[in-house]
Structure 1
């Protein structure tokens, strides 16, 4: 997603752009295995890159979806307090969101909540009208088509295996279906998602010392039976946990109206997309707090996504890293590390930032 958005933006400046993708098609990892939500920007620290790019990206993304007929829906979202102890957290989120420039947030009483979503359990809620959902596959495809129309080349089944600085250029080693080749470039944009820290290491950066080490956080999703899918109209989120490893097991909708639960948050050592029903009871218990109409047999395991996090287990959230590495003796190398949620929403704003960096280099 991020690489596609950047390619489309940079190609507008008549640059010769190459997109190197290790998988057989686009968006097969973090970009497609997520909630596909257009976020508003209320969870992130004031003045952080996450906050700035999310709030700006929200507006840009809705505009792109309208202009290019990308499937989307401005559903809105409610964050629900299930007891009086969580009401203060709603106030905190309201204030944080307003500081970030999210101007349409509104607190709801129990009566107002029941009026909007009569099938949701809660004592109060925070309404985020500008939250929505979209078809991420269509968005990535649009970005790549834009880039290719402007002359960019997209190469699949090709994995970067080496990055070496050679005077004013970089030598990039690529393994393409078992065949090795080299090419030279003045600018390297490392937007490798789960593997971005490894690409930075190839370029000679001490990733531990730089704070670039990524930690894999596995999130499972469960789908809800079609018979219960018309009982809510908006996305429904719990009050987030203090450490914000994720925003808690939440309730989203796809564009067909089906309800999805998730993701969970479990740190893992290796990439693993396996899912079974071993966590079904936990998912059901969490979701039942918000959706009292849910029965145990209504939910089934659906998919797994893995988030590239910069924070270790137990640490508070860390910001995106978007950095031109000139002070490390690597002018022309732009690293994007830890681009997790709200990366999809932020993608057009991130592309603008990186495009400006490229203009300064070239």
Structure 2
């Protein structure tokens, strides 16, 4: 009976929403086993489904991967930048291993290009050495420090005084990866409900009741006006993996203390592509020293050979809750912004010609720290923190979130 309920839950949601009266008390209800909020949680949904849970994924957009999951560098990170014993370090190193195996086993396009993190001045060498210590402490065993002359022989267009080689860094086709996760989840009877938004919830009888609405009903919502749910869904397990809206959503769960919900910060990053060049200037990914809010304007080469530079860091204000649920962030890239890119790139690529950068795309990073604040770890928050049985909040899942996704899923399900 429960399996049939989950299997038909998408159509039941749609039917209930269309027939729902506007009063909260009369709102229809449905039960469910495990609900994953946001298709960013596809790896978790797949892992739960593989373990026999009856999974429903609720996604506000018309398809998966329209937010942070598809607006990044598509890099498989090695696990260098993060403090030892942090969740980022642990999940990145483990996730890299799982991701390479997953891609190899299923023929998902990827390539282990390797990466050079470069010091372009003597003053940056101590920072580079510190990154190597971090990586070694995290279990990244293949790192090698190189003199600038050796690195420049490897990459003739590169300019640096010293470099750290990370052979295990690579790139992946993130869309193919997510499509595979979705297919495997659906093969295990997971269900996806697109164009459906979780707008809040309340605690009743030690269970979180999710407030559900059709996304199109929210499009003309007046800011700060109350949102009446069209359906109340009562799951045994809720994974709040809503990405950019994970924190705003948790704040709308009535009955959870605001004290345990962190403040959200948003960093917008633009990418520019290299034009007027027949062959890529580099064979490896090239990274400068990390900067406030990011790991620097770096060089990535996608699987088609396109060279991209980015992202930069632009701190922005978050939109109102409903706009964040509907991913109404500004993703436009102004060509004028390239003026900031040229001097940064020329620190390590002096032969970059004027007029070679064309606007690419942008992404927003959901962060738990603001400007000039120390970087924060992933936050995986369970009942021991917020006191609600069956609720797991995933906060601040920025880079290396793509690399870490399978490891995060493995960890969450093992705790259940």
Specify the structure having the higher radius of gyration (Cα).
Answer: 2
Q: Distance in 2 between matches of 1:42 and 1:297?
A: 33
Q: Distance in 1 between matches of 2:360 and 2:386?
A: 43
Q: Distance in 2 between matches of 1:229 and 1:18?
A: 45
Q: Distance in 1 between matches of 2:76 and 2:68?
A: 15
Measured at CA, do residues 229 and 160 of structure 1 come closer, stay the same or move farther in structure 2, by a change above 3 Å? farther
Task: Out of 281-290 and 70-79, give the one that drifted further.
Answer: 281-290
What is the DSSP-based 3-state SS (H/G/I as helix, E as strand, rest coil) of the residue aligned with 2:361? strand
Aligned position for 2:382 = 324
Aligned position for 2:72 = 34
Question: Would you say 1:154 and 2:154 are equivalent positions?
Answer: no
Q: After superposition, where does 1:277-288 map in structure 2 within 5 Å?
A: 277-288=335-346
Question: Would you say 1:220 and 2:270 are equivalent positions?
Answer: yes
CA contact (8 A) 1:133 1:255 kept: yes
Aligned position for 1:237 = 287
Aligned position for 2:223 = none
How much does 1:329 deviate?
2.5
Task: Out of 287-296 and 56-65, give the one that drifted further.
Answer: 287-296
Q: Distance in 1 between matches of 2:399 and 2:236?
A: 30
Measured at CA, do residues 298 and 103 of structure 1 come closer, stay the same or move farther in structure 2, by a change above 3 Å? same
What is the DSSP-based 3-state SS (H/G/I as helix, E as strand, rest coil) of the residue aligned with 1:43? coil
RMSD value, Cα:
1.4
Aligned position for 2:141 = 103
What is the DSSP-based 3-state SS (H/G/I as helix, E as strand, rest coil) of the residue aligned with 1:7? helix
How much does 1:323 deviate?
1.6
Q: What's the CA shift string for 1:245-284, capped at 9, x where partnerless?
A: 1001111111111110100111101332122122211101
CA contact (8 A) 1:10 1:17 kept: yes
Q: What's the CA shift string for 1:127-164, capped at 9, x where partnerless?
A: 00000000000111111111110010011111101222
What is the DSSP-based 3-state SS (H/G/I as helix, E as strand, rest coil) of the residue aligned with 1:290? coil
Q: After superposition, where does 1:103-142 map in structure 2 within 5 Å?
A: 103-142=141-180
How much does 1:111 deviate?
2.3
Aligned position for 2:309 = 261
Q: Distance in 1 between matches of 2:204 and 2:371?
A: 38
Aligned position for 1:84 = 122
Deviation beyond 4 Å, 4+ runs, structure 1:
none
Aligned position for 1:67 = 105
Measured at CA, do residues 327 and 214 of structure 1 come closer, stay the same or move farther in structure 2, by a change above 3 Å? closer
Q: Distance in 2 between matches of 1:167 and 1:13?
A: 27
Q: Distance in 1 between matches of 2:118 and 2:110?
A: 23
- In the comparison of the two structures, how many residue pairs are matched? 355
Q: Distance in 2 between matches of 1:316 and 1:121?
A: 29
CA contact (8 A) 1:161 1:174 kept: yes
What is the DSSP-based 3-state SS (H/G/I as helix, E as strand, rest coil) of the residue aligned with 2:250? helix
Q: Distance in 1 between matches of 2:385 and 2:124?
A: 45
CA contact (8 A) 1:326 1:332 kept: no
Q: Structure 1: give runs of 5+ residues left out of the alignment.
A: none
Aligned with residue 131 of structure 2, among 53, 71, 93: 93
Question: Would you say 1:307 and 2:338 are equivalent positions?
Answer: no
CA contact (8 A) 2:250 2:261 kept: no
Q: Distance in 1 between matches of 2:131 and 2:248?
A: 35
How much does 1:325 deviate?
2.4
What is the DSSP-based 3-state SS (H/G/I as helix, E as strand, rest coil) of the residue aligned with 1:125? strand
TM-score (norm 1): 0.95
Question: Would you say 1:344 and 2:402 are equivalent positions?
Answer: yes
